[in-house]
Amino acid sequence: MEKIREKERGSAARQWMELVEDVSLSDEELKRRLQDIHRGNLPSFAEIVVNPGCMNQCKHCIYPEDYACHNKALSVETWCRIIDDMYTRLEFRHFIFGGRGMNQDIIEVVKYVNSKYSDVKVGMIAEAFGLEMYWDEIKGLKIDHLDISVDGLKKGHDLQRNREGAFDLTVKMMKKIMEGPMKNRNFKKVAILSTLTSLNRSEILPMFKFFNSEFKVRNFFIAPVTVINNRPDASLKLSKRQVAQFIREAKDFFGELNDAYMAFNIYEDDLGFWFRDNAKDLYEKLKADEDYFEFKEERGNNEFHLFWYPAAINSCREFIMNTNGDVFTGYVQAYGKIPEANIFGNVMRMEGTKEEFFERIVEAPAFDFFVGQVKDLQG
Ligand code: SF4
């Protein structure tokens, strides 16, 4: 018991909460302590947005349509060189590709990683149309976790993805995945990622049930849509009360699945603090661990998790790289042209040791963005 409390006390999330609660800190002290949290908790994986363009037009998309005009793509050769550097200098052993439309470059970079590094974990985020288009090559890749975006059943998914036939194609691709690369172990794990919006709130849980019973999908992740810089349309966002209600429904429901892991992820601190004041049944169960707060419940052979990842320390976990190699905070893709204030550095400039690289990141002027987030929460 004492060990657990010790673990919680030393966690990045607990230290972050102490900063938020200590309004007596000077700006310099606040920044120094936040930098120390980052220094002591370097990212555990890197997420690479290789492709600036996307053929889809999902209603909940955070990327503006002209994203490719503002963000140039690096060549496959350059990404391979960057990955070599990230492996040797920064010691990354887990890369996630995707998060924007699929393209040939992503496949070539994953092939390179597969052929060169047997100890690197590869994650891929994809949706049905991209999977279908590149299936002949994708099915031969070694992928540790394939995260497929599914946002509802036929009505809700097609509506949110803004494309008729999107759900039916997802079902078709899931069948191919389960009968092909999941069976021959090219893919180790398949997960469904859902973005909760006002369009699909009643369809997400039945959709999980469908994929769990029809295809034995076992991993399900949900996050509420984030609106930034008026993207996507604010009407898609549920109220905080509705989100809390959805989480309670998910908590009641998850026992109906079979051998499943379901996680609801919160990335917006105002939602986390709203829970503190208005949804104590959820908030009081959250415990700090590493760079997140977590509440876990088990029923039968299923698990339900509620995670809250505080925004100012989110990059301790995720190291997000733009198509041009810039490292930035999450969600700023909505700006199209990413403001300098949100760019911490670029992976094309990786000279020096791992410690020196990350020291440049926490000393970068953009780090003040994180400081500002904590100050905003202090009011
Ligand atoms: S949500 Fe993803 S798949 Fe849909 S348009 Fe945006 S980047 Fe493309």
- Work out which ligand 1 atom sits closest to the CA atom of 130: 3
Residue 7: pLDDT band (50, 70, 90) is: low
Residue 10: pLDDT band (50, 70, 90) is: confident
Instruction: Find the 189 Cα to ligand 1 centroid distance in Å.
Output: 22
Residue 315: pLDDT band (50, 70, 90) is: confident
**What's the chain's average pLDDT?**
95
Q: Determine the distance from the C-alpha atom of residue 46 to the mean position of all C-alpha atoms in its chain, rounded to a whole number.
A: 11
Q: Average pLDDT in the 254-268 region?
A: 98
**What pLDDT score was predicted for residue 99?**
80
Residue 151 in contact with ligand 1 by CB distance below 6 A: no
- Listed in sequence order, the residues at least 6 apart from 53 whose beta carbon sits closer than 8 Å to its beta carbon are 67, 68, 100, 101, 103
DSSP 228: B
**What pLDDT score was predicted for residue 8?**
64
Q: What is the pTM of this model?
A: 0.95
C-alpha span between 307 and 144 (Å, rounded)? 22
Q: Answer whether the bond into residue 232 is a cis peptide, omega within 30°.
A: yes
Q: Work out the angle at residue 214's Cα, subtended by the Cα atoms of residues 204 and 191, and round it to the nearest 5 degrees.
A: 55
Residue spans of beta strands (DSSP E) within 11-155: 45-48, 94-97, 121-126, 145-149
The total of other beta-carbon atoms located within 10 Å of residue 339's CB is 12
Instruction: Find the 268 Cα to ligand 1 centroid distance in Å.
Output: 20
Residue 58 in contact with ligand 1 by CB distance below 6 A: yes
CA-proximal residue: ligand 1, atom 7 (nearest): 100
Which of the listed CATH numbers 3.40.50.720, 3.90.1150.10, 3.30.530.20, 3.20.20.70 matches domain 2-20+27-373? 3.20.20.70
- Work out which ligand 1 atom sits closest to the CA atom of 60: 1
Q: Report the Cα–Cα distance between both ends of the chain, in Å, rounded.
A: 34
Q: What's the token pair of residue 63?
A: 């990327």
- Percentage of the chain with pLDDT > 70? 98
- In three-state secondary structure terms, 323 is coil
Residue 63 in contact with ligand 1 by CB distance below 6 A: yes
